[in-house]
Amino acid sequence: MGPDSAPGPAVPWQKVLWEHQPFPDNYVDERFLEELRRNVGIRQYQYWAVVKEAGFVGQQLSCVAIFITLWLYMEQGLLPPELLLLTSLVCALLGYGLHQALKSQVESSCEPRTYMADLQSASIFLSFTFGFSPVLKTLTESVSTDTVYAMSAVMLLAHLVAFPYAQPSPPGSLSLNAALFASVCLASRLPGALHTFTMLSCALLVFALWPCLLKRLRANAPRQFTGVCVGVCLGGVGGLGSQSPAGAVLLALALGGVTLLCPLLLVRLQRHKDNIHGPWDEAEIHEDISRFLQ
């Protein structure tokens, strides 16, 4: 049958190719596109639920701001490294305790890391950082300060962009590495070797350990998690405000945009969503195929 031959008789059209049907090849039946589905499995968002989730992004932004504030204080000599070191130690111990406490509630089934192992990795890390801090201090001496700042800014941005906000895992390697790179750059501009060591320990605390604790908090105590996020945001804005009011205003605007405006946009634009699905879609494999290889 070619296109546009005689109009078909009263036989119903079938969506099959194996039968030679009395219809032209370009025949369009009423059933054309009947299997078209719109917006299958669409998620309806609630504004405040999205705001809560976005708060996590906001607090990570504030973490970076807090880190920069600390660095500013150190660089101007307003904050003695010993004090920061002591505070960090206390925070780390408190956080560790909290981490352990939250762990015992849920994941008792899988093999826990021993205290000994934790202590071992902490001491390895600290001793190496301490040993290498004189080297790290002079690492970027031959590089101009502007370059170092620019590099740090780019790397901190990369940290924020690559941070795994969605999946509950420790910070991804790209985001963690970018943040540590930025902290090494910044720390090398500080006046002394102890300053450098302090700054790097602080960076580990903020960029590596804090997200781990936060992830656990999010899983086990969602209500407190929201409070912590708000607290960190306020802390970030306040801290930055004491050094640079303009920076604090910018940060507050960014936080407002990320946590309030973007969710509003997402919820508002949702009704314009129009996804089409049909038999032509590539099937997805939902099963875990890798189980056959384990």
Binding site for other proteins (CB under 8 A): 1-5, 7, 15-18, 24-26, 28, 32-33, 35-36, 272, 274-287, 289, 292-293
Provide the minimum distance between the beta carbon of 271 and other proteins in the complex, in angstroms, as a whole number.
10
SS3 label, residue 69? helix
CA–CA separation, 277 and 270 (whole Å): 17
Q: Nearest approach, Cβ of 11 to other proteins (angstroms)?
A: 16
Of the pair 13, 96, the CB lying nearest other proteins is at: 13
Residue closer to other proteins (CB basis): 143 or 268: 268
Smaller CB separation from other proteins, 166 or 289: 289
The distance of closest approach from Cβ of residue 44 to other proteins in the complex, given in angstroms and rounded to an integer, is: 18
User: Tokens 């994941």 sit at which residue?
Assistant: 107
Based on CB atoms, which residue is closest to other proteins, 15 or 48?
15
Instruction: Give which of 72, 58, 65 is closest to 236, Cα–Cα.
Output: 65
Q: Give the integer Cα–Cα distance in Å for 196 and 134.
A: 8
**Least CB distance from residue 250 to other proteins, whole Å?**
31
Q: CB of 111 within 8 A of CB of 226?
A: no
Helix axis angle, 222-243 relative to 245-256, nearest 10°? Answer: 150
Q: Which is nearer to other proteins, 2 or 168 (CB)?
A: 2
- The minimum distance between CB 167 and other proteins, in angstroms, equals 20
Q: Shortest Cβ distance from residue 15 to other proteins (Å)?
A: 5
The sign of the torsion formed by the CA atoms of 74, 80, 83, 89 equals positive
Tokens of 133: 């801090």
For β-strands 37-38 and 276-277, DSSP reports them as: antiparallel
Closer residue to other proteins (CB): 7 or 9 = 7
**What's the first-to-final CA gap in the chain, in angstroms?**
54
